[in-house]
Amino acid sequence: MQLPIRIIDGLYLGDQGAAHDLEFLVTNKITKIINCAAKHIPNHWESIGIQYLSYQWLESETQFQFDYTRCFTFINDALEAQEAVLVHSIRAINRSVFVVVLFLMRKFKWTLSKTLQYIHNLKNQFDIKPNVYQQLLNYEKWFHLTKLSNNWDVANNDDETLARNTYLNSQRTYSNEPKRKKEICLKKVQWKKNLVSQFIPPYYQIEFKKFSTPQPKIQHSQIPIKLRVQLSDNNWMNKKYTLNQIVDEQLQKKLNLFSIKSDRQPIKNIGRPGTAPSKRLLKGKVVTSSHRLLVKQS
Higher-scoring residue by pLDDT: 98, 196: 98
Residue 163's identity, in one-letter code, is A
Q: What is the pLDDT of residues 142-173, one digit of tens each?
A: 887 678 888 888 888 888 999 989 888 888 65
25: nearest Cα among 40, 53, 44, 42: 44
Q: What is the largest CA-CA distance in the chain?
A: 195
66: nearest Cα among 161, 10, 137, 132: 132
Higher-scoring residue by pLDDT: 191, 132: 132
What dotted CATH number matches 5-170? 3.90.190.10
Q: What local confidence, expressed as pLDDT, does residue 93 receive?
A: 92
Q: What local confidence, expressed as pLDDT, does residue 156 receive?
A: 85
Q: What local confidence, expressed as pLDDT, does residue 298 receive?
A: 47
Higher-scoring residue by pLDDT: 281, 56: 56
pLDDT at 174 over 60: no
Q: What local confidence, expressed as pLDDT, does residue 110 receive?
A: 93
Q: What local confidence, expressed as pLDDT, does residue 68 receive?
A: 86
Q: What is the mean pLDDT of the chain?
A: 77
At 279 the three-state DSSP class reads coil
What is the percent of the chain with per-residue pLDDT over 70, rounded to a whole number? Answer: 59
What is the percent of the chain with per-residue pLDDT over 90, rounded to a whole number? Answer: 36
Q: What local confidence, expressed as pLDDT, does residue 125 receive?
A: 83
How many CB atoms are located within 10 Å of the residue 196 CB? Answer: 6
- The alpha-helical segments, DSSP class H, found in the chain are 16-20, 22-27, 68-80, 95-108, 112-122, 130-143, 158-170, 243-258
Residue 289's identity, in one-letter code, is S
End-to-end CA distance of the chain: 160
pLDDT at 198 over 70: no
Which range (22-26, 85-89, 130-134, 250-254) has the least confidence?
A: 250-254
